[in-house]
Amino acid sequence: MSVPAVQPGNPQEDIAALAKGGRTNFFGFLLRLAARLPFLFIAGRLYGAESLGRFASALVVVELTAMICSMGEKRGLAQRLSEAPDERPANLVFDGILIATLASLAAVAFFWLVPAPMFPSGEYTALDRLIVLAIPGYALTEIVLAAQAYRFDVGTTVRARAVVEPWTISILAGALWFVIPRSGLSMAYLASIYAGLLTALWPFFRTYGLPSGWRPRPRAMARFTWRALPLASADAIEWGTRRLDIFILGLFAAPAAVGVYYVAQQVASLPQKLKTSFEPILGPVITRNLKEKNFAAIARQVCQVGFWITAAQAGIALALGIPGEAVMGLVGPNFVGGTGALAFLLAAEVVAAAAVVAEAALIYVARFRNLIVSVATIGLQAVLTIGAMIAVDRLDLPETYKAAGAALALVLALGTASIVKSIMLGRMLRQRINNWRWALVYAAAPAIVVGWLATRLPEWAELAFGIPLILLTYGWVIWRYGFGPEDRVLFRRNLEHGDNVAAPPAASLEGEPRP
């Protein structure tokens, strides 16, 4: 069956749609948190840091390859659907599915024959090699979820990514340890990917139906693939900046050190999911305003969402970072050494917020220039990370310093990208792009004091009472002094047409850029 395209709306409706998507996926963030911690506990306590490190190294290659094979459809599909309102949407989606499937199968064949990139330590079992089969499942899930997001259906993403996938891998990792302890993590991950895909396909077919009169069009699909390469590369690079450090660590450090870093990264990536909370809704809103040449609205939406993300991530970073030793200790005593890496990784997620929301618009208005900046970012990160590895070796420091050095390199690289991409988007739109507000400092100061007091408590009390108190202190101050009327719509369930939602001052309406 066919579904009507997204209809143009006014600025209040755009903000309401963004807020609704953010609220839905914030609930998904809480579900991810509830599911991620059991997996880390099981993986750390049962499998150990060394097995977790081997699993993490393989995961990097598999998921990066899958992102490339999805051909940028996570964000590019919204533009293709907007530009072809008269064509059956299911047909357009299946064009992307076919290309992703062919690319994924080619990647599966390559890595099955050449598994060394996935296992740099050279240690793996026959079952571990089967993890390559996750590539097509991951790529197709990205496309299906992007199609649902175009219809403002964020609930499917929450169910697939925040409920089914994490709980599947957590439950199976625990069960398979008794059966195949050396390969349980790989098999649990493989099962979780296809469980998530099946969860996404059911509402997808209900929304879009099956294609009608569709057949492969080699020439058109070749043009689409060529056009999608910048988006695919930008997606892969943005994702790769969060995994390059693990890959380099796998080359320079022992698997146990990689395992410790992976745990720190998994904890730190929890606030990263807040950015993806808005991406599915921000893409269609931006593409529609581009079609209407409403550049001031794009700047307003980017600044609005950027502040929401920065404020939320800063609070979560404080809540997880201040009691960092207790958080890492939950996974096992051998993981406490990754506390420094955890602190830097949490900081990296905060400074990256500006780059992510700016890129949400840049991929449509300056995709090649955005790609160049992204390539330069990951190149800078690689140089800084390798430099940190060499410095630790020459100074004869413990392996845990390599993990902290890799995390610091990520902070510096993402901070640079945020500055450059915000300036670039501002010039393109001729609007002021700025996510910063001093209220972030006012809220962080008392939260830090509360957190320091919480570290004086026993470890169980530090976690049980310290984390909620830090969040409550930070949240009350940011709500009282940082959130205006246009921000508080994020916490409303409905926004009526008559509501007067003021535009944030960061996006003035002066001047319109050249199209």
Query: Where does the pLDDT of residue 71 fall: very low under 50, low under 70, confident under 90, or very high at 90 and above?
Result: confident
Query: How crowded is the C-beta side of 168, counted as CA atoms within 13 Å?
Result: 21
Say if residue 500's pLDDT is above 50.
Answer: no
The two three-digit tokens of residue 47, written as one number? 């499998």
What would the mean pLDDT of 64-69 be, rounded to a whole number?
Answer: 88
Average pLDDT over the chain, rounded to whole?
81
Specify the higher pLDDT residue, 363 or 111: 111
Of 91 and 152, which is predicted with more confidence?
91
Which residue is it, tokens 């899930």?
141
- Under the banding of pLDDT at 50, 70 and 90, the label for residue 4 is very low
Give me the helix-helix angle, 367-394 and 218-240, nearest 10°.
40
Higher pLDDT among residues 224 and 174, named by residue = 174
For 124, residues 6+ apart whose C-beta sits below 8 A from its C-beta are 54, 58, 115, 118
What pLDDT does residue 1 have?
40
DSSP string computed for 306-328: HHHHHHHHHHHHHHHHTTHHHHH
Task: Supply the pLDDT for residue 157.
Answer: 83
Cβ(49)–Cβ(335) under 8 Å?
Answer: yes
Burial class (CB in 10 A: 0-12, 13-18, 19+), 292: exposed
Residues 66-70: what's their mean pLDDT?
87
Q: Is the pLDDT of residue 425 over 80?
A: yes
Say whether pLDDT at 333 is over 90: no
CB 188 within 8 Å of CB 165: no
User: How sure is the predictor about 273, in pLDDT bands with cuts at 50, 70 and 90?
Assistant: low
Q: Kindly list the distances between the CA atom of residue 101 and the CA atoms of 58, 81, 217, 275, in Å, as whole numbers in the listed order.
A: 20, 20, 15, 27
Q: In angstroms, rounded to a whole number, what is the distance separating the alpha carbons of residues 135 and 344?
A: 30
Q: Which residue would you say has higher pLDDT here, 351 or 158?
A: 351
Asked if 470 and 318 count as a contact pair (C-beta separation under 8 A), the reply is: yes
Does the pLDDT at position 344 exceed 60?
A: yes
| pLDDT at 196 exceeding the cut of 90 | yes
416-428 burial code (b ≥16 CB/10 A, e <16): bbbebbbebbbeb
- Give me the residue label for tokens 């977790």: 52
pLDDT band at residue 496 using 50, 70 and 90 as cut-offs: very low
Rounded mean pLDDT, 227-249: 75
Residue ranges per domain, the chain? Answer: 11-491
Q: Helix H segments across 153-183?
A: 155-157, 165-176
Residue 168, judged by CB atoms within 10 A of its CB (0-12, 13-18, 19+), counts as buried
Name, in order, each residue with C-beta under 8 angstroms of 146's C-beta and a sequence gap of 6 or more: 73, 74, 75, 77, 78, 280
**Helix residue ranges, H only, 366-488:** 367-394, 400-429, 439-454, 459-461, 467-477, 485-488
Report long-range pairs for 6-13 (Cβ below 8 Å, ≥24 apart).
Answer: 6/82, 6/150, 6/151, 6/152, 6/284, 6/288, 8/288, 8/292, 9/288, 10/497, 11/297, 11/300, 11/501, 11/503, 12/495, 12/497, 12/499, 12/501, 13/495, 13/497
pLDDT at residue 5, rounded to an integer:
40
CA dihedral angle for residue 38, residue 490, residue 374, residue 299, rounded to 10 degrees: 180
Q: Which residue has the tokens 């892969």?
A: 236
pLDDT at 173: 94
- 278 CB burial (10 A radius; 0-12, 13-18, 19+): buried
pLDDT of residue 202: 93
Average the pLDDT over each of 158-167, 235-244, 268-277 and give the range with the smallest value: 268-277
Confidence band of 3 (pLDDT split at 50, 70, 90): very low
Q: Tell me the mean pLDDT in the region 76-84.
A: 73
Of 67, 121, 410, 403, whose CA–CA distance to 262 is shortest? 403
For residue 220 the two structure tokens come to: 């058109």
Whether the Cβ atoms of residue 351 and residue 309 lie closer than 8 Å to each other: no
**Does residue 492 have a pLDDT over 70?**
no
For 178-182, the CB contacts below 8 A with 24+ separation are 180/127, 181/46, 181/47, 182/51, 182/125, 182/127, 182/128
**Contact at 8 Å (CB) between 90 and 253?**
no
**Averaged pLDDT for residues 7-17:** 52
Q: What is the pLDDT of residue 334?
A: 82
Q: In sequence order, which residues have a C-beta less than 8 Å from that of residue 461 and are 6 or more positions away?
A: 454
- This prediction has a pTM of 0.73
Tokens at 474, concatenated: 């930070």
Please identify which residue in the block is written with the tokens 């509501």.
499
Look at residue 312 in the predicted model and tell me its pLDDT.
Answer: 83
Q: At what angle do helices 134-150 and 89-113 cross, to 10 degrees?
A: 160
Helix (H, G, I), strand (E, B) or coil at 356: helix
Average the pLDDT over 30-37 and give the result.
68
* Residue 346: predicted pLDDT: 92
Tell whether the model's pLDDT for residue 418 goes beyond 60: yes
Whose CA is closest to 296, among 167, 433, 392, 176? 433
> What is the predicted pLDDT for the residue at 488?
60
pLDDT value of position 19: 56
Type of residue numbered 321 = G
274 pLDDT exceeds 70? Answer: no
Question: Which whole number is the average pLDDT over 81-85?
Answer: 71
What's the gap between Cα 91 and its chain centre?
28
* pLDDT reading at 397 higher than 80: yes
